[in-house]
Every structure is written in structure tokens, then in C-alpha cells.
Amino acid sequence: MPELVPPVSTAVKAVAPPPTYRPVVLVGKAQKNAMGPRMEARQLHRDTWTYDMDPFLYFDDFTMAGKTFAPHPHAGFSPITYVFEDSAGAIWNRDTLESAKALRAGELLWTEAGRGMEHEENPVDPGPPVHGVQIWVNLSRANRWAPARTWHRLASQIPEATTADGARVRVVAGTALDRTGLIDPLTRVSILDVHVPKSTRFELEVPDGQNAFALVIAGSGQVGPPDAMAPLERQGAVGFGTAGGRVHAIAGAEGLQLLLCAGVPHREPLVQHGPFVMSTREEIDEAIRRYRSGQMGRLGPA
């Protein structure tokens, strides 16, 4: 009887394609913006930075040591306050949505202003300086007049993950590394507080079709595809190409903290008038009328 010989396998093992990386298309610097004797900020604004931030409008990486803002309205977008973990102080928030609370280190307050509300945010007084960021995220035209609402998340409620290389990522909003932020806003974006230890690599896939950019909060390093990296210093801002791929960075000797943001652009007309963001001048006029008539509420004395 002939010996049975097992057939030779002709199957070819699948080989994963090499990763693709988002190129760096713009490196800039946040602009210093003094907002009074008790507040300093480094600002990134859609009108002064040539990278397309849509659906984001504005960032202020701020340090605030005392009362700066009187009660003021917002409508048509989402003003967001996130207090960094290194903040010594806390912010006291009051608004016409019946919210009054302190925001401490690592905490988030997401306000979807919609058809309008009034709020006031200042350091808990007396208290040490607050280090945080205020972010304005645009609403689509279809959602500008939605009812106003807020989400408050404690530091313990911000999901965290660690990459294989050891970078720590706080998922303030959106989804990354199988973690999802605990809010469900009308404009869904990713806001990631990324902490990269010294001389460590950070990589994260950003889906196709999203604008993606980062603001350096602390430290320094390099960013971009491994074969075409650009230096990135504190106060630096970097915009990436829009084709899908990985955002890639390497921290310098002091480590690197990035606020990495991404979102699908609205690509809609936009008109801003102070604290109101709308799609037409007529909508701005309607927001002003609503505010003056008290339909956004009024904050009484603190």
C-alpha cells in the first residue's frame, strides 16, 4: 500500500499592509491673547490659523487667576471647558440651565448652547490659578436652534487608555483606543488629552474625511510620518492632511502633552457676531432679539 503524503499547502499567509501616516500640512503657533490682568491664553482661531478647523471654531489654552468674565450669552454652537489635570485651581460655573458647580482638575463641562443660554465661568474665589482650555465646536445649521443643554463629567468619568508604547490618552470626547467619551453631542468630534512620556512614540489612526490637528499643551517633540517629521515646541499647533491614516509623534526629553482634535467638517455658511454663531445675518439678528427679550434667561447676582 503506497504511503500517504500530505498535500503541499499552496495557501499564502495574508500580510498586513504597512501603516499609512497623515502628513503634516501646517505647523504654526498659538497666539498669545491677554484677556485682562488675571487671565492669559494661547489662542487658536479659525480666522487667524490657515488650517481648516471645521467643525471647530476656537481654542483658548488659558491660565486664569481671578474673576475675568461677567455673565454673557451664547447661541448656535457648543462652548466647552476642560480643566487640565495639572490645574491647581477650580472654575465655578453658573448658567441659566440651572447648573451651578465647580470644575476641578481633569473635569469637563460641555455646553450645547443651541437656541441660547447665559453663563459665567470664573475661578473659585479665593483660589489658586486654573489651567484649562475652552473650545468652541460649531453646530450644523439644522441643529443651531436645538434646546440648550449641558454635560458635566468628573475626572473619574473621563475614559483613559494606554497605547502599546506607553502614551496615556484621556478621551474627553469621541472614541479612541476602544474607549468612548461619556457624552453624546449633536456635533460628534474627538478631543483627546494625550500624554507621551519622554522619548516615547505615539500613534493613533484617524478616520478618513476628518480634519485633524493638535495643540501642544506642554513639552516638545516631533510629529509627522516617520520619514518626514517636523519639530513641535510648546505653544505649537500642527494640522494634518485629511486622508485617513495615523497621527504619529515622538516626545522629546521632557515629554509631550497634546490636545488632539478631529471631526467631520460641516462645510456650511457661518456668520459670527461676538458670542453668537449662526448661518446667516438674519439668524444673528434673531439671536440678538431673543437675548434682549430675555428668552435665553438672565443670571442674577452670584
Please write the tens of the pLDDT for every residue from 273-302.
Answer: 999 999 999 999 999 999 999 999 999 876
At 34 the pLDDT is: 77
114 falls within a domain = yes
User: Is residue 6's pLDDT more than 90?
Assistant: no
59 falls within a domain = yes
User: Is residue 59's pLDDT more than 90?
Assistant: yes
CATH of the domain at 182: 2.60.120.10
User: Is residue 1's pLDDT more than 90?
Assistant: no
Q: How far is CA 276 from CA 133, 138, 153, 192, 279, in A?
A: 19, 11, 25, 26, 10
Q: Which domain holds residue 253?
A: 24-292
- Structural domains of the chain, count: 1
* Cβ(251)–Cβ(196) below 8 Å: yes
Residue 147: band (very low, low, confident or very high) from pLDDT cuts 50, 70, 90: very high
265 falls within a domain = yes
The rounded distance, in Å, linking the Cα atoms of 82 and 213 is: 17
At 9 the pLDDT is: 57
At 80 the pLDDT is: 97
Q: Chain-wide mean pLDDT for the chain? A: 92
At 33 the pLDDT is: 83
The residue-averaged pLDDT of 126-131 equals: 89
Q: How far is CA 84 from CA 89, 108, 163, 280, 285, in A?
A: 10, 9, 20, 35, 36
185 falls within a domain = yes
- Closest by CA to 79, choosing from 138, 132, 3, 27, is 138
159 falls within a domain = yes
Per-residue pLDDT of 165-211, as tens digits, reads 999 999 999 999 999 999 999 999 999 999 999 999 999 999 999 99
Residue 126: band (very low, low, confident or very high) from pLDDT cuts 50, 70, 90: confident
60 falls within a domain = yes
User: Is residue 8's pLDDT more than 70?
Assistant: no
At 291 the pLDDT is: 97
200 falls within a domain = yes
CB contact set of 214 (below 8 Å; sequence gap of 6+): 194, 223, 237, 238, 240, 247, 249, 258, 259, 260, 261
At 225 the pLDDT is: 95
pTM of the model: 0.92
User: Is residue 4's pLDDT more than 60?
Assistant: no
The residue-averaged pLDDT of 38-63 equals: 93
User: Is residue 2's pLDDT more than 80?
Assistant: no
